[in-house]
Structure 1
Amino acid sequence: MIDKIAFRSLSYGLYLVTAQDGEKQAGCVVNTFSQVTSSPAQASIAINKDNFTTGVITASGMFEVSVLAQDAPMELIGRFGFHSSVDTDKFQETETRVDEAGVPYVAEHTVAHFCVKVKQTMDLGTHLYIMGEVVESAVLSSEEPMTYAYYHQVKGGKTPPKASSYEQPENAQEQKEESEGAAARTFAWRCTICGHIEYVDELPDDFVCPVCGVGKELFERIEL
Structure 2
Amino acid sequence: MDNRALFSLSYGVFVLATRANGKMNGCITNTCIQVASNPNKIAIAVINQNLTCEMIKESKVFTISILEEKTTYDTIKYYGMQSGRDIDKFFGDNLKINGIDVPYLSWSTCSVLAAHVVESHDLGSHTLFIAELDDAFKLNDNPPLTYDYYHKNIKPKPEPLPGDKKIIGWRCKICGFVYEGEVLPEEYLCPLCGHDASDFEPIFES
The two structures have a TM-score, normalised by structure 1, of 0.73
Query: What residue is the counterpart of 1:48 in the other structure?
Result: 47
Query: What residue is the counterpart of 2:204 in the other structure?
Result: 179
Q: State the 1:24 CA deviation.
A: 1.2
Query: What residue is the counterpart of 1:72 in the other structure?
Result: 71
Counterparts of 1:5 and 1:16 in 2: how far apart (Å)? 25
Q: State the 1:160 CA deviation.
A: 4.8
Q: Over aligned residue pairs, what C-alpha RMSD do you find?
A: 2.1
Q: Deviations over 1:85-133 (max 9, x none)?
A: 0111111257221111111111111010001100000010010000110
Q: State the 1:75 CA deviation.
A: 1.2
**1:166 matches 2:191:** no
Q: State the 1:28 CA deviation.
A: 0.1
Q: Is the 8 A contact 1:95 1:108 kept in 2?
A: yes
Amino acid at match of 2:28: V
Amino acid at match of 2:89: K
Q: State the 1:157 CA deviation.
A: 5.1
Structure 2: any 5+ residue segments left out of the alignment? 158-171, 176-191
Query: What residue is the counterpart of 1:61 in the other structure?
Result: 60
Counterparts of 2:77 and 2:66 in 1: how far apart (Å)? 15
Q: 1:120 to 1:135 in 2, by over 3 A?
A: same
SS in 1 for 2:100: coil
Structure 1: any 5+ residue segments left out of the alignment? 184-224
Whose Rg is larger?
1
Q: Is the 8 A contact 1:46 1:164 kept in 2?
A: no
Query: What residue is the counterpart of 1:13 in the other structure?
Result: 12
Q: Is the 8 A contact 2:46 2:127 kept in 1?
A: yes
Q: 1:49 to 1:151 in 2, by over 3 A?
A: same
Counterparts of 2:71 and 2:6 in 1: how far apart (Å)? 25
Q: State the 1:76 CA deviation.
A: 1.2
Q: 1:54 to 1:154 in 2, by over 3 A?
A: same
Counterparts of 1:44 and 1:75 in 2: how far apart (Å)? 26
Count, aligned residues: 175
Moved over 2 A (4+): 156-165
Counterparts of 2:136 and 2:25 in 1: how far apart (Å)? 20
The two structures have a TM-score, normalised by structure 2, of 0.79
Amino acid at match of 2:196: E
Q: State the 1:167 CA deviation.
A: 2.8
Counterparts of 1:41 and 1:155 in 2: how far apart (Å)? 31
